[in-house]
Structure 1
Amino acid sequence: MKLGIGLKLMAGLVAAALAAGPALAEGTLRVAMTLADIPLTDGAPDQGTEGVRFAGYTLYDPLISYDLSRSDKSADLRPALATEWHTVEGDKTKWVFKLRQGVKFHDGSDFNADSVIFNLDRAFNKEFPAYDPSFERQLKIYLPSLKSWRKIDDYTVELTTKAPDSLFPYQMPRLLIASPAQYEKLGKNWDAFRSQPSGTGPWKIGELVPRQRLELLPNKDYWDKDRVPKLDRLVLLPIPEVSARTAALLSGRVDWAESPSPDTVEKLTSAGMVISTNAIPHVWPYTLSELPGSPFADIRVRKAINLAIDREGLVKVLNGLAVPAAGNVSKQSAWFGKPTFEVKYDPEEAKKLLKEAGYGPDNPLKIKAAISTSGSGQMYPLLMNEFIQENLRDVGVELELEVFEWEALRGRRRVGAQAPENEGIVILNNSYSTNDPYVAVLRYLTPEEIAPKGSNWGSIRDEEIERLAKELRNEFDAKKQDEIIARIHQRFVDRADFVWVVHDVGSRALSPKVKGHVHAQSWFVDFSPISIAP
């Protein structure tokens, strides 16, 4: 396996991250992230949804955000920099957003419609002076329906979609609004902006040391007075190696460790640490190439691999820090439907299906997967993939693992299975949020989403799913939407278009000094109510 970062270098980076910086003030929360580097701080974070969690929703606000204030229900959409939104009567492709007034960027400039237009232009208008391909690269798969935009007045904008799309509001939380005035002030230079970012979010930049730490300070003038941070400082440390994160927490060098090592759960709880989990909408699957020539173009092979994995056994190895998956969403979800294909552990049926597909001892199925060393939502990818590798070997399948650093793997995802650099790779191990209808199903299954345009990495095509997707986008009644989504998901599972393994539970280990943490049913976290006990 090709490890992206050597262990010695990793240890050095961890030591530097933990040792660097001034003496910690009372009320400082130190977080060990799973990332290998600090996410981009320009309002279009890289490093996946963990990058958005730590360098996105801290420094910036979107027009529409998530309500992260409760742990007992799914995190729903809520107004943020937009106070309301609706389609135009007679034209379902046009959405009008009324913007919040009186909001200031960290640099003191005003948030208004010009700010929204600027942020759309910088990401999607190649002729715009402030355009940077980094923004388009990070954002385009999350706003695939967007066609055009215009200012109506100082606090109203109109966004137009390529076709009617009832799910468009669910795409908006990824559009974070950066300060045009700060960009101008810093010489119209995005590298300079990344060192001195300015958003409207509850946190301001304190200090940024690449690959070592990002220090954030509370925005005491934040527009949402109920979410003004209580902490004096938030320190984010990239520590991708799981045992290093756990050791840092046990030694008192951090207060919060993302995805603690499963085999240290007992040790952590014995030391007084809190293992926090919840039923977050996040799935850890294998995305499959269904291109001509791929073994996964055959549904029998797709079903066989699904049946070859001992999910209950894997959950035991993970010490309960996961839940077996039978689809993209849980069986309890209104979107699960009633699939006839049951995702379960049945190695004998897997062998039978492989034999029917022409594979066996004289012609073993050999497949290659692209996986990561760690990263946003990737949980414990080396441990988990090696466990599955053994499961597949038991049914006569040889799984080769090609290992990438997380952002490098995301680059392979963006270009699609058909790209020359992905030649020979028929599996992508990429975890996904499933918190809304668009990210739960549509972005993997429709032709307009085929990479590099979107998230359909494996070029999955199915006429019935495409028909239902069109029906869904033209349906603006929430109850009827749920019914259509369930039918899409049902067919998704019956076709075995992914190999589903587990659902994440958002595990994090917390020092008992951490107070006010709400483990929302979301991939994201609101750090505003958190405090540190003396």
Structure 2
Amino acid sequence: MNTSLTRIAAVLAASTMLVSVASAETIRWARSSDSLTMDPHSQNQGNTHTLSHHIYETLLGRANDGALTPRLATEWALKEGDPTVWVFKLREGVKFHNGNDFTAEDVIYSIERAKSEFSNMKQLHAEVVSVAAVDDYTVEFQMKGPALIYPNNLTNTFIMDKTWSDEHDLAVVQDFASGASNYSVLNTNGTGPYTLTSREVDVKTVLDYNAGWWGEKPAVDKIEYLVIADAQTRVSALLSGEVDIVQDVPPQDIDRLSNTEGFKVEIGPENRFIYFGYRFGEEPLASSDIKDSNPFNNPKVREAMELALDRDAIKQVVMRGQSIPTGIPNPPFVNGWTPELDAYPKPDVEKAKALMAEAGYPNGFTVTLDTPNNRYVNDEAISTAYVGMLGQIGIKVTLASRPVAEHSPIILANKSDFYLLGWGVPTFDSAYVFNDLVHSKTDLHGTYNVGLYTNPELDEKIIALGTMDNIEQRDATIAEIWKVVKEDRVLMPIHNQVLAYAMRDGVTLAVQPENQPNMTTVTFD
């Protein structure tokens, strides 16, 4: 029996039963893929953070315009007379879902945990030397130097209850790549607006309003988070009244939904780019018929691959106009983006063929492209289109398409020769891209440097960004790094993603640039 179809049938059956009883206080929210884990420090991944934000909270948040907002911290500033220490005043009277008080010891525990071995969040706190409590509601972060933008790194680092965590032996973060588990993978205890009522991985998660939440009571009392991988089934569930909101609307369905009575679509740009990556290094590719070299290591091959990539055709044909082609893996929201860096070459197949011949591959080569099929908008279709484009210059690609839950472990284990991935930039600063995607892979950096690109000179500059006290000098260094990244074609950006949320009339949810909508912001007409 087809497991995916069975899961979809289960979701729709459960949803259908709820059509008659769902009230204005219940939101049935459908997405294409699930959170990877409920361990809040394990995976630095958008879907995972989105669900966690309903249960756990961070010291700081982010408004739709990019401004930092207070959450569990109400004030933050550099310590007077010491630019290497950040001081955070904590919100008083906050309780975890189990009734425990939120205090400074929970912040210290959570930051130390987020910095630990198996956490995908550790690079965000690379400049943190220590965290200490001044009192129950004041914490000081001792940094390695003047880390002027560090508060920007806190918007996805969730605060856990130290007492509860100790009771359940959670000091070690889930080692997701190895398939390990712990109590927090399926159980939660946050301070957020909703509590976890039930969870069936890849099918359905139910959250109920936390009556003890410190914030203003939201309109939504219950959330039913439904995973429906198939795009048409997802849209059909909205049209039939089985769900209220669909977050991942295929571009091909936007016009139809917009023009269907009783429904509306909200559209906006996302702070996320989609890109192809490839393995660097002299070692031959495991999936290629070239056994004495790595074609991707040759800059002429990478240039040829870019000249074969028709970004505008992907926008028009695959994305139905709903994408923003780009020549830099960095969205316009982010510090470091410039129109000059954003420029990309027009396709030139004949020049690309000539470059392939000059590189020593006149007949091309074979390789496997790993792609998710339920994570980004039309991700598999984008990869399929590029397979055809590369075929024109002799690169014969086998497409390996998988759900993101299967794709992610391959990526994190650096087991892909050639892959599609997307990357959001929640810090709104280029260093976030450099730390994870460009810096050489180490225990602390390069977590998603799947291609194992390495450049010691760039590594030094990337590390220096963390503690520069001169903003102009820092911005100049960012520009220097981007120049090399673009010239080396470290990554092959395709476009910046455009978001579309569809919903029934009577429900309003604004597009959130981080694509991390929170159901506390839903309003009912």
Question: Structure 1 length as normaliser, TM-score?
Answer: 0.83
Distance 1:111 1:21 in 2: 36
Structure 2 match to 1:250: 239
Give 3-state SS (helix, strand or coil) of 1:208's partner.
Answer: strand
Alignment of 1:260-409 (within 5 A): 260-272=249-261, 273-293=263-283, 294-317=294-317, 318-330=319-331, 335-337=336-338, 338-339=340-341, 342-361=344-363, 364-375=364-375, 378-409=376-407
Give 1:525's aligned amino acid.
P
Alignment of 1:228-243 (within 5 A): 228-243=217-232
Is contact 1:283-1:433 (8 Å) kept? yes
> How far does residue 308 in structure 1 lie from its aligned partner after superposition?
0.9
> How far does residue 261 in structure 1 lie from its aligned partner after superposition?
2.5
Distance 2:349 2:499 in 1: 29
Distance 1:170 1:333 in 2: 12
> How far does residue 385 in structure 1 lie from its aligned partner after superposition?
0.8
Is contact 2:439-2:446 (8 Å) kept? no
Distance 1:521 1:352 in 2: 41
Counterpart check, 1:519 vs 2:511: yes
Is contact 2:123-2:435 (8 Å) kept? no
Cα distance, 1:85–1:454 mapped onto 2, change above 3 Å? farther
Give 1:232's aligned amino acid.
D
> How far does residue 499 in structure 1 lie from its aligned partner after superposition?
0.9
Give 3-state SS (helix, strand or coil) of 1:98's partner.
Answer: strand
Is contact 2:276-2:421 (8 Å) kept? yes
For residues 32-61 of structure 1, give each alpha carbon's deviation from its aligned partner in whole angstroms, at most 9, with x where no partner exists.
1111x45533434658211211x2111111
> How far does residue 91 in structure 1 lie from its aligned partner after superposition?
6.5
> How far does residue 433 in structure 1 lie from its aligned partner after superposition?
0.3
Give 3-state SS (helix, strand or coil) of 1:65's partner.
Answer: strand
Structure 1 match to 2:176: none
Distance 1:434 1:191 in 2: 28
Deviates more, 1:402-411 or 1:469-478: 469-478
Counterpart check, 1:63 vs 2:59: yes
Cα distance, 1:503–1:471 mapped onto 2, change above 3 Å? same
Structure 2 match to 1:419: none
Alignment of 1:523-534 (within 5 A): 523-533=515-525
Cα distance, 1:92–1:180 mapped onto 2, change above 3 Å? same
Give 1:58's aligned amino acid.
H
Structure 1 match to 2:105: 114
Distance 1:269 1:510 in 2: 10
Percent of pairs identical after alignment?
22
Give 3-state SS (helix, strand or coil) of 1:441's partner.
Answer: helix
Counterpart check, 1:413 vs 2:411: yes
Cα distance, 1:451–1:480 mapped onto 2, change above 3 Å? closer
For residues 457-478 of structure 1, give each alpha carbon's deviation from its aligned partner in whole angstroms, at most 9, with x where no partner exists.
2222235533432442232344
Is contact 2:43-2:119 (8 Å) kept? no
Distance 2:120 2:35 in 1: 15
Is contact 2:369-2:420 (8 Å) kept? yes
- Considering Cα pairs closer than 8 Å and 6+ residues apart, tell me whether 1 or 2 has the greater RCO: 1
Counterpart check, 1:149 vs 2:146: no
Is contact 1:113-1:151 (8 Å) kept? yes
Cα distance, 1:464–1:181 mapped onto 2, change above 3 Å? closer
Give 2:242's aligned amino acid.
R
Is contact 2:97-2:191 (8 Å) kept? yes
For residues 334-363 of structure 1, give each alpha carbon's deviation from its aligned partner in whole angstroms, at most 9, with x where no partner exists.
5234449834423233222222211223xx
Give 1:496's aligned amino acid.
R
Structure 2 match to 1:101: 92
Distance 2:463 2:200 in 1: 46
Distance 1:513 1:67 in 2: 24
For residues 67-125 of structure 1, give each alpha carbon's deviation from its aligned partner in whole angstroms, at most 9, with x where no partner exists.
23xxxx3x232232123334557876544333222222222221111111232455556
Give 3-state SS (helix, strand or coil) of 1:429's partner.
Answer: strand
Give 3-state SS (helix, strand or coil) of 2:270's partner.
Answer: coil
> How far does residue 141 in structure 1 lie from its aligned partner after superposition?
4.7
Calculate the aligned-residue CA RMSD, in Å. 3.2
> How far does residue 427 in structure 1 lie from its aligned partner after superposition?
1.6
Is contact 2:295-2:301 (8 Å) kept? yes
Is contact 2:370-2:400 (8 Å) kept? yes
Distance 1:343 1:145 in 2: 37
Is contact 2:273-2:331 (8 Å) kept? no
Structure 2 match to 1:34: 32
Distance 1:340 1:137 in 2: 32
Give 3-state SS (helix, strand or coil) of 1:507's partner.
Answer: strand
Alignment of 1:422-437 (within 5 A): 422=415, 425-435=416-426, 436-437=428-429
Give 2:439's aligned amino acid.
T
Structure 1 match to 2:5: 8
Cα distance, 1:148–1:254 mapped onto 2, change above 3 Å? same
Is contact 2:36-2:405 (8 Å) kept? no
Where do 5+ consecutive residues of structure 2 fail to align? 172-180, 284-293
